[in-house]
Structure 1
Amino acid sequence: MSEAAVLARTSNGPITQERLHQDLTNIGLKAGMTLMVHTALSRIGWVCGGAQTLIAALLDAIGPNGNLVMSAQSPQLSDPQHWSDPPVPETWWETIRQNHPPFDACQTPTSRCGVVPEAFRLWPGTRRSSHPLVSLCAKGPAAEMLLADQPLHDPLGEASPLAKLEKLNALILMIGCGWETCTALHLAERRALPNAPRFSDGAPVIINGERQWISINMPLMDSETFVPVGQKIDGQSFMQHGHIGESFARFFPLQAASQIAEKLLRVS
């Protein structure tokens, strides 16, 4: 969305950190929460300070004892044979595999996650998990525990940061984005479809100080199936709906939503 379009949909002046804090409090955020956030910044309206202001408001709302988590995916490191938006010539594949910079938790940028997760990746004190394709970032007292030992071949399943978030009674905040963006529901998907087909992917990483291309046997995951599932979750009593700035928002517990999603995905 262009800045002009964002300005046009913003009423009552610039959206400040104070207003965001009030909206976040109204929807249910409290100090000490463990919170995973998905957001489309442009949907919120013209935020004075952009992503920096939103992240500051989120951290202020959950306080120093809270934990903030966001996706930090880097699909640009995946095997180029799977690229489709846009595809690259097959004659390029091996050159890319041999020359793309390896994953670095500090330096590798996020991709297709939006400006807020990228700004959060660079926020002082933010940590990042080690998966070269589907990492997560976190800040807070439990960040190191949440992100440790993310499985290479099943990064969003039972031993993943998502499962650890569930054990911490994490809540999910979705601001201006659809259910297909809800990374947290991949945990339910993996439980519902433990024997899902797998495909061969790969990524460049550093092993013992040397760059290597590694193979990754990833389960097929389909976030488009989250749309009808999310419609069922929207009607549950635990779901809080509200507005953050100009944007519609959803706020709900991961565990309760995951249980419903798992049942629905088993029969879909």
Structure 2
Amino acid sequence: MTEWDAIRRTKTAVTRSTMVRDLRQLGLKEGMTVIVHTSMSRIGWICGGPVAVIEALQEVLTPAGTLIMPAHSADVSDPIDWENPPVPKKWMQAIYQEMPPFDPERTPTLGMGRVAETFRKFPGVRRSSHPIYSFAAWGAACDQIVDGHVLDDGLGQDSPLAKIYQLNGWVLLLGVSYGNNTSMHLGECCSKKLKMITRQSPILLNGQRRWVSYRDWDYHEERFSQIGHAFETDPRETKNLQIGKIGQADSLFMSQRAIVDFTANFLKQGPVHRSK
């Protein structure tokens, strides 16, 4: 979307102060731990762009809280797994030889949007070390969230998602829906219904670039919309979900623990995807 399109589709200018108001009305409070997924184009024309979005979130949470965003880089991976789009097989050897290793400071995010990409470079933000599933965090529990992000099971029990769960954190879907809710992958892991697969990525080991293999799960986020609808319509979950708007963006604010547990329980009722 061009800036002209954003202006034309926006009824009232969205500013840091209006977003602060909207965030508080939705339920965000000082001291909370919140993982945020955003679509800037859905918010409307924003005075200050992604910087204003981040500063509004920080103002509401304050340094006593913790702000987390996904900083995933799925392209730092085995080219044989690339499908959107694939690359010619004759390119493979050059990619294996030349692909830069993952670097938390330099590797850009892929497909995370302007807000997440801006956030990873913000003052005081730290990024975890997983080559494809990293997270960026700011605030009181920043170090606790990002430290110790192991290669195996990168969205599972030792991941930043699990640490948000332990802290009774929250999920804000700002202009996006359940298909973008990374926390639901933790629910998939907890369901024990997934197939185990192997991936590889280039990383730095003792200052040397090395391709390393690690265990991962075959995730199925295409099911998340169905699970999310069931979550929204379950009367037992009413206390765990708030629905509102940030600017012009339809937004969802939910207990991360509630949506993770709901996802796990929902999937436990389905067929088992056995590990190899």
2-structure distance, mates of 1:8, 1:199: 46
Tell me the equivalent position of 1:184.
183
Tell me the equivalent position of 1:165.
164
Tell me the equivalent position of 2:125.
126
Per the TM alignment, residue 39 of structure 1 is displaced from its structure 2 partner at its CA by 0.6
Indicate yes or no: 2:95 matched with 1:96: yes
Tell me the equivalent position of 2:212.
214
1:28-49 alpha-carbon deviations (Å, 9 max, x no partner): 1110010100010110000011
2-structure distance, mates of 1:216, 1:92: 23
Per the TM alignment, residue 215 of structure 1 is displaced from its structure 2 partner at its CA by 1.6
Indicate yes or no: 2:250 matched with 1:252: no
Moved more, 140-149 or 183-192: 140-149
2-structure distance, mates of 1:261, 1:216: 25
What letter is aligned with 1:137? A
Tell me the equivalent position of 1:204.
202
Per the TM alignment, residue 199 of structure 1 is displaced from its structure 2 partner at its CA by 2.5
Tell me the equivalent position of 1:54.
53
Aligned with 2:134: secondary structure?
strand
Moved more, 230-239 or 1-10: 1-10
Per the TM alignment, residue 8 of structure 1 is displaced from its structure 2 partner at its CA by 2.2
What letter is aligned with 2:95? I
Tell me the equivalent position of 2:266.
264
1:168-199 alpha-carbon deviations (Å, 9 max, x no partner): 110110011121110011111001025x2222
Per the TM alignment, residue 4 of structure 1 is displaced from its structure 2 partner at its CA by 3.0
2-structure distance, mates of 1:91, 1:219: 28
Mapped contact 2:177–2:252 kept (Cα < 8 A):
no
Mapped contact 2:169–2:256 kept (Cα < 8 A):
yes
Matches within 5 A, 1:11-90: 11-12=11-12, 14-90=13-89
Per the TM alignment, residue 224 of structure 1 is displaced from its structure 2 partner at its CA by 1.0
Identical-pair percentage: 38
What letter is aligned with 2:16? Q
Aligned with 1:134: secondary structure?
coil
Aligned with 2:70: secondary structure?
strand
What letter is aligned with 1:178? S
Per the TM alignment, residue 261 of structure 1 is displaced from its structure 2 partner at its CA by 1.2
Aligned with 2:222: secondary structure?
helix
Mapped contact 1:97–1:203 kept (Cα < 8 A):
no
2-structure distance, mates of 1:98, 1:204: 10
Aligned with 2:225: secondary structure?
helix
Aligned with 2:37: secondary structure?
strand
What letter is aligned with 2:9? R
Count of residue pairs the alignment pairs up: 266
Which blocks of at least 5 consecutive residues in structure 2 are unaligned?
A: 271-276
Moved over 4 A (4+): none
Aligned with 1:226: secondary structure?
helix
Mapped contact 1:203–1:213 kept (Cα < 8 A):
yes
Mapped contact 1:200–1:216 kept (Cα < 8 A):
yes
What letter is aligned with 1:232? A
Tell me the equivalent position of 2:5.
5
Cα RMSD (Å) of the superposition? Answer: 1.1
2-structure distance, mates of 1:170, 1:244: 20
2-structure distance, mates of 1:217, 1:170: 26
1:183-235 alpha-carbon deviations (Å, 9 max, x no partner): 011111001025x2222321111001111111222211111111100111223
